[in-house]
Amino acid sequence: MVATELGIKMAALGHEVHFIAYALPYRLGAFETNVFFHEVDVLQYPLFEYPPYSLSLAHKMVDVIEHEQLDIMHVHYAIPHATSAYLARQIMADEGAAFKFVTTLHGTDITLIGSDPSYLKIVKFSIEQSDGVTAVSRYLQQETYNTFAVSKPIEVIPNFVPDRFWVAEKERAQKRCFAENDEIILTHISNFREVKRVTDLVDVIARLVPKYPVRLLMVGDGPERSRMEQMCRSQKLCDRIQFLGKQESVEQVLACSDLFLLPSADESFGLAALEAMACGLPVISTHAGGLPEVNIDGETGFTVPIGDTIAFAERIARLIDDRPLYFEMARQARRRAREFFNSEKIVPRYIDYYKKVLAT
């Protein structure tokens, strides 16, 4: 998502942007001037049990760089993309050409896959061989230093809010599409992996339902959905928790919502929380990973310990009972998103970083 939004913004500024991937990038559905897509063809050969995507990607990188005369390559995630970019650079060097690439670390390539002993050395190598490295939070920057002991300087450039998430307050007030009888709409958006701890929200809602007219909207899908659905049925909360599945325009769901909930055990940044803040929603989250860099406890919402569903429910109840506090936090959430994570501020930082890498 970040790569796509960054490319679209850069194209709007007049830069020529080429996406290289095995499928059309998420959020790149409409035609965009100065944007081009190159699909990676993966060889299907009986000798290989698993298709050699990294090699096919490296070959496609070389082809696009040569024929489109790219200035720089920006890869997202250390493996396999930085590894493929390194191989592509070596191939071009052998042909007497040269190019540089920047790697952005997003989280799981460091905290999950990268720390696995099977991949640790190749992730470390790929990071150190990159001509430039960025991370989306100070937390992820420090985790990378701690896990891999890399000597490569890592620039922190946070994620930014896509323009369509700046939902006007008047528009929000008109879109109470899920609310009935003054219900309080709570929303969660994720890929429902175990690290998101979505099942914690069942206990949170169970604590709130006896006193408050709350409704939880679960947006997304993933391995924990079926378990959470079963918990909802066993606790008779199906009328209070709705599963909307994957949604393309999540900003429309956020426009219908009052609070955003994120009970994750780990988040390198928390882009979903930031997008909710841009829509004027206070956020109740854990203080895991990079979340405290986005959601400021007591200002844009609240942060609580991981797994503390009692504290989670108490913070929600406090904002329901104290409307002046709710509206102040909603205002501060929107202000912080606009002041620190606006695309007009973040995108130029990437462009400046490209120029710095190219100049060295």
- 171 membership: H or E segment, kind and range: helix 169-174
179 and 66 within one domain: no
231 and 111 within one domain: no
126 and 194 within one domain: no
221 and 303 within one domain: yes
Confidence of residue 188 (pLDDT cuts 50, 70, 90): very high
Burial of 236 (0-12, 13-18, 19+ CB in 10 A): exposed
Residues 200/263, Cβ–Cβ less than 8 Å? yes
Start-to-end C-alpha separation, the chain: 29
237 and 207 within one domain: yes
Residue pointed to by tokens 């990268």 = 114
168 and 79 within one domain: no
Residue 260 C-beta-side C-alpha neighbours within 13 Å: 32
Does residue 71 or residue 163 have the better pLDDT? 71
Question: Residues 5-45: pLDDT tens digits?
Answer: 999 999 999 999 999 999 888 778 778 899 999 999 887 77
142 and 8 within one domain: yes
Spatial strand order in the sheet of 184-190? 241-245, 214-220, 184-190, 259-262, 283-286, 301-304
- How many domains, in total, are found in the chain? 2
Residue 172 has pLDDT above 60, yes or no: no
8 and 154 within one domain: yes
Question: Residues 53-76: pLDDT tens digits?
Answer: 899 999 999 999 999 999 999 999
| Residue 12, phi then psi, degrees to nearest 5 | -65, -25
The DSSP symbol for 78 reads: I
Query: Residues 301-323, buried b or exposed e (16+ Cβ, 10 A)?
Result: bbbbeeeebebbbbbbbebbeee
Query: Residues 75-111, buried b or exposed e (16+ Cβ, 10 A)?
Result: bbbbbbbbbbbbbbbebbeeeeeebbbbbbbbbbbbb
| Residue 39, phi then psi, degrees to nearest 5 | -85, 135
pTM for the model stands at: 0.90
Give the span between the Cα atoms of 313 and 93, in whole angstroms: 58
147 and 37 within one domain: yes
CATH of the domain at 276: 3.40.50.2000
Residues 269/107, Cβ–Cβ less than 8 Å? yes
Q: Which domain holds residue 11?
A: 2-160+343-359
325 and 354 within one domain: no
Q: Which of 9, 31, 4 is nearest to 19 (CA)?
A: 4
279 and 307 within one domain: yes
Strand-pairing partners, residue 285, are 262, 303
Task: Return the structure tokens found at 311.
Answer: 């504290």
| Residue 260, phi then psi, degrees to nearest 5 | -115, 135
247 and 318 within one domain: yes
Give the span between the Cα atoms of 156 and 159, in whole angstroms: 10
Question: Residues 237-292: pLDDT tens digits?
Answer: 999 999 999 998 899 899 889 999 999 999 999 999 999 999 999 999 999 999 99
> What percent of the chain shows pLDDT beyond 70?
94
